[in-house]
Chain A
Amino acid sequence: MIGEVVAWFQDPVNWRGEDGVWNRLIEHSLLTLTATLVAVLIGLPIAVWLGHIGRGGVLAVNISNVGRAVPTFAVLLLLSIALPFGTDDLGPYGRAGLATLIALVLFALPPIITNAYVGVREVDKDTVEAARGMGMQDGQLLRRVELPLGLPLILAGVRLAVVQVWATATIAALVAGPGLGRIITLGFRRQDVTEVVAGALIVGVIALLLEGAMVGLQRLFGPVARARRSQAPSAPPPRVE
């Protein structure tokens, strides 16, 4: 088995063309990057603002629980059938690129919103009072106190979102969407176990590397001890499909 998988990776045919590793890798990476970016641009300002004014907590916290209960597969399929657009090729994003992107953004939003909200909200109330006492306005308070102190948790949310999006992009293959999952589903259709395992190895190894890289980024930007302490009670990790 191991020899066959190694041989699969050594065969240049498996790397070229539309179904090749390179093309699927580019699709998958672009999808992950774009969806995360869009979700951060939409979710972060809303969550940070809600945390700042201290409203919408029930929504911000429960959105993650709802996200966990809804199967990605069903959402992808619903979107691919229901949307009157987005099923065509979308440049480098591949077939059904737009429908897939929308689904990915939907599943990236909950961890970002929940963590950013909790991060800003749980900033020590005494610190906030002290900052106000020093004459800080809303904007200043947000930029100079709440955001820096909430950063570890905000970054944790983005990290979870990236891992979630990478996994969801894999499922896109189940509804004939783009991405590396296609190597796995194609292998299943050809009843080629070697190809199935090779595809799974690529997806799995990169997922682990991505998680490692994100943990590294988190350490670079925020004190670890604090991140770990405030991360523990906030929420269990979201479901990764």
Chain B
Amino acid sequence: MVRNEWICGEYLRSRGSILGDAVVQHVWITVVSVALGLLIAFPLALLARRYRQLEWIVVGATTALYTIPSLALFALLLPVTGLTATTVVVGLVLYSLTILVRNLLEGLRGVPDDVRESALGMGYGGPRLLFRVELPLALPSIMAGLRVATVSTVALTTVGAIIGFGGLGNLLFQAVNTQFRPQVLVAGVLCVVLAVTFDLLLLALQRILTPWAKTRAAA
């Protein structure tokens, strides 16, 4: 390991399992954060839609959270949740809320009034109206938000390295001291590959969930 070239096959061979572990941690932190974010954003968006006064509080608060740099947010959570993966996940959930709440609201607002009225006239109401009519129609906007939130979360997870839970970010953090070039390049590239993979998977999911969107675009 005397040479410090950017590309090093030996590094990939000998450190394969470490890289694998880092990817696994990166993926679960991202998936758990975005899933929790969606779970929390959903009722928040419904509340904001139901009560107008709450809207600016919900949207304002999530937007304010978004402007706080991640390093500072993780640091502020430190006294509460300590040096655990929870600190990173809570921080990432808070960030994902900004995009998810916005897009959920936008999607639900985009449902045409006459569609809603027809559904009401057909006897739909309450949760059935929401889940069978409004949510499917809001899906394109929701999925768009989910994609942006997921891609952002993949990139943000790296900063979790300061707590020791940053997935591929941990490898980057090590390399600050070692200046080991192949590690920086491989970890950085893998982050981008992960983000693109998630984005494509969600895009495919969106296609499957909204088959009508494609035919409409073609028509």
B92 to chain A, nearest CB (A): 11
Known: A68-B148, A197-B79, A239-B152. A174 touches B196 (CB 8 A): no
Cα separation A203 to B72 with both chains bound (whole Å): 6
A-chain residues with CB within 8 Å of residue B98 when the two chains form the complex: 237
Stretch at the interface among A18-26, A141-149, A164-172: A164-172
**CB <8 Å contact, A73 and B73:** no
Residues of A within 8 A of B156 (CB): 71, 239, 241
Would you call B196 and A170 a contact (CB within 8 A)?
Answer: no
- Min CB distance B90 to A, Å, is 14
- Distance in angstroms between the alpha carbons of A201 and B73 in the assembled complex: 9
- Would you call A174 and B67 a contact (CB within 8 A)? no
Which residue on chain A has the smallest CB distance to residue B64?
Answer: A208
A residues in contact with B64, CB < 8 Å: 208, 211
Q: Is A17 an interface residue, CB under 8 A from the partner?
A: no
Central interface residue in B71, B181, B195, by most chain A CB within 10 Å: B71
When distances are taken between beta carbons in the complex, the residues of chain B under 8 Å from A78 are 184-185, 188
> Is B69 on the interface with A (CB-CB < 8 A)?
yes
Tell which of A74, A81, A200, A211 has the most Cβ of chain B within 10 Å. A74
| Bound Cα distance A181, B156 (Å) | 16
| A168-227 residues at the B interface, CB under 8 angstroms | 170-171, 173-176, 181, 184-185, 187-188, 193, 196-197, 199-201, 203-204, 207-208, 210-211
B59-115 contacts to A, CB under 8 A, are 63-64, 66-73, 75-76, 78-79, 95, 98-99, 102-103, 106
Q: Which positions 29-72 of chain B face chain A at CB distance < 8 Å?
A: 63-64, 66-72
Given A81-B179, A174-B162, A236-B148: A207 and B72 within 8 A (CB)? yes
A239-B155 contact given A73-B161, A81-B179, CB 8 Å threshold = yes
A184 touching B154, Cβ below 8 Å: no
Interface string of B154-182 (1 = CB under 8 A from A): 11101101100000010011011001010
Contact B75–A197 (Cβ < 8 Å): yes
Interface centre among A65, A73, A78 (most CB of B within 10 A): A73
Q: Is A53 an interface residue (CB 8 A)?
A: no
Chain A residues closer than 8 Å to B76, beta-carbon distance: 197, 200-201, 204
Q: Is the CB of A181 within 8 A of B79?
A: no
Instruction: Kindly supply a per-residue 1/0 record for chain A positions 63-93, scoring 1 wherever the CB is within 8 Å of any chain B CB and 0 otherwise.
Output: 0010011111111011001000000000000
- A170 partner, pick from B69, B102, B144, beta carbons under 8 A: B69
* Residue of B69, B162, B181, B196 most packed against chain A (CB within 10 A): B69
CB distance from A204 to the nearest CB of B (A): 4
Question: Which residues of chain B come closer than 8 Å to A193, judged between CB atoms?
Answer: 78-79
Find out whether the CB atom of B172 lies under 8 angstroms from the CB atom of A240.
no
Q: Which residues of chain A are near B161, meaning CB under 8 Å?
A: 73, 174
The interface of chain A, by Cβ under 8 A from chain B, is 1, 65, 68-75, 77-78, 81, 163, 166-167, 170-171, 173-176, 181, 184-185, 187-188, 193, 196-197, 199-201, 203-204, 207-208, 210-211, 232, 236-237, 239-241
Q: Which 6 A-B pairs have the closest CB atoms?
A: A74-B188, A200-B75, A167-B69, A239-B152, A200-B72, A69-B195
Q: A81-B181, A239-B151 are in contact. List 13 more A-B contacts (CB 8 A).
A: A69-B155, A69-B195, A77-B184, A167-B69, A170-B71, A171-B159, A173-B71, A197-B78, A204-B69, A208-B67, A239-B152, A239-B155, A241-B71
Query: 11 A-B pairs, CB-CB below 8 angstroms?
Result: A70-B155, A77-B176, A175-B176, A188-B75, A188-B162, A196-B78, A200-B72, A204-B68, A208-B68, A211-B67, A239-B151
